[in-house]
Structure 1
Amino acid sequence: MSANAWFKSFTITGAAGDKTIVKFTANRGEVAPATAATDKIAGVLALAATGAGQVVDVAMGGVHEVVAGGVIAAGDLLTTDANGAAVPAVFAAGAARHVIGKALVPAVAGDIFPYLVAPSVIAG
């Protein structure tokens, strides 16, 4: 886990990779792997989850790490791709994009890199 982040524990609906993005579900205290920028993002897992019902720690503040799903520049606002990896959040007219935070360094697909946890929504 990142030394400069704070975490909250949830149960998860299924397997998810290390340092991937998760979303809230309709059930209290439960998260699921995120698959779209329109998901209500909860945060980023501290460690991988092997299956449903497992208790996981999700970064909710501070500086944490996330896996990159594409080319990212330092300072990019980040959202999720279909695999729960971080990609740049791009404005789209008429659509809300949920953001996990801001990239602190450049990264390419597969990199695990630090980001500032700063959840927000970009409304189009």
Structure 2
Amino acid sequence: MRNEGLQKTLIAGAAVNPNRIVKFGAADNQAIQAAAATDKMFGVSDNLGAASGETFDVIVDGIALVKYGGNVAVGDLLTSDANGQAIATTTASNRVIGVAMDSGVSGDIGSVLLSPGSV
């Protein structure tokens, strides 16, 4: 299930896989794949992804599709693993991308209600 709202077209500062959590890159108009629960994540890459230097769409509002990197239960707060995949978190000081709308396991594509913030 997805219900994408606002999308922003940015330049990939490095390769970005489809349906991955992204963070800001080195330049204002860049995004790269998130790589830690403490990254300043702000959205999810579209279902195409991008090679370094290519433009791609980042979903920053609404419900987006995201690849799970572990077991997720509906309602879990989601953060990023080392590969930009969504994992559940309750750890203080972790940043979150949103709330899981589907349960799933590693490798599944699930839905996230985007609501960036921190635990």
The TM-score normalised by the length of structure 2 is: 0.91
Equivalent-residue separation in structure 2 for 1:4 and 1:30 (angstroms)? 20
User: % of aligned pairs identical?
Assistant: 37
| Alpha-carbon displacement from aligned partner over 1:3-39 (angstroms, at most 9, x marks no partner) | 4332111101121211011111231111111110111
Contact 2:4–2:59 under 8 Å retained in 1: no
| Alpha-carbon displacement from aligned partner over 1:27-53 (angstroms, at most 9, x marks no partner) | 111111111011100211013334211
Residue in 2 that maps onto 1:80: 80
- How well do the aligned residues superpose, as a CA RMSD in angstroms? 1.4
Offset of 1:97 from its aligned partner?
1.1
Structure with larger Rg: 1
C-alpha change, 1:97 and 1:64, in structure 2 (3 Å) is same
**Structure 1 runs not aligned, ≥5 long:** none
Matched, 1:106 2:103: yes
Contact 1:12–1:51 under 8 Å retained in 2: yes
Residue in 2 that maps onto 1:26: 26
| Alpha-carbon displacement from aligned partner over 1:66-92 (angstroms, at most 9, x marks no partner) | 000000000000000001100012314
Residue in 1 that maps onto 2:89: 89
The TM-score normalised by the length of structure 1 is: 0.88
**Structure 2 runs not aligned, ≥5 long:** none
SS at 2:39 equivalent: coil
Equivalent-residue separation in structure 1 for 2:23 and 2:48 (angstroms)? 15
Q: Which moved more, 1:47-56 or 1:106-115?
A: 47-56
Contact 1:22–1:33 under 8 Å retained in 2: yes
Q: How many residues of Structure 1 are paired with residues of Structure 2 in the alignment?
A: 118
Equivalent-residue separation in structure 2 for 1:57 and 1:49 (angstroms)? 8
Residue in 1 that maps onto 2:118: 121
Equivalent-residue separation in structure 2 for 1:111 and 1:38 (angstroms)? 23
